[in-house]
Structures are given as C-alpha cells and as structure tokens.
Amino acid sequence: MGCRAKAAKATLLRVVEIEGLLVPDPAGRLPGRGASVHLDPRCVDLAEKRRAFPRALRLAGPLDVTPVREHVAASPNPDRSGSPR
C-alpha cells in the first residue's frame, strides 16, 4: 500500500482498524475491512505519509500505526536487503 508495489498476498501484512488503532492481522481473521502492507518499515512510513491507511479502510481522520510499526520491526523479513520499491 505504501510503496504501491504489487506482491503476493502471502508476503503482505493485513491490517485492520480497532478503536482508532491500526492493528496487525497476520492470520487474516480479524473482522472488518482490511488493508495490506509490506513487512518493510519504509512501506509503512510511505503509507502513513500518503494517508493511505484511512483511505484504504474508508475511515476519516488519522490512525495510530504504532502496533503495526512494532510488528514490522519484530518480524524477520528477508526483503529488507535494500532494494528500493
């Protein structure tokens, strides 16, 4: 979503909004509209900068993306080798 690059669903992290927080949903089981983002901090930064999360989730106003940032930082990601998107 942030970098706008296409990828297989299995390589993306689904996120949903719960009470104003953007929550990671790696299992894809949480209710509600979801959006997908790469497991890359740069992609999360771009999505936040472009206000892509509220738009994709059809919400008004900003969302707290802290839980997603923490999840991405803690996730092993072989794609962090440095190729820009």
Q: C-alpha distances in angstroms, 32 versus 46, 72, 79, 83? A: 23, 21, 28, 32
Quick: pLDDT tens for 25-75.
Answer: 999 999 999 999 999 999 999 999 999 999 999 999 889 999 999 999 999
On whether the CB atoms of residues 63 and 22 are closer than 8 A, the answer is: yes
Helices (H), ranges, the chain? 41-49, 52-56, 66-74
Domain annotation covers residue 65: yes
Q: Count of domains in the chain?
A: 1
> Is residue 43 domain-resident?
yes
Give the CATH number of the domain where residue 53 resides.
3.30.1230.10
Give strand pairing partners of 77. Answer: none
Residue 83 pLDDT exceeds 50: no
Q: Residue 64 belongs to what domain range?
A: 9-76
Could you tell me if residue 4 is inside a domain? Answer: no
The whole model's pTM is what? 0.84
More confident residue, 64 or 77: 64
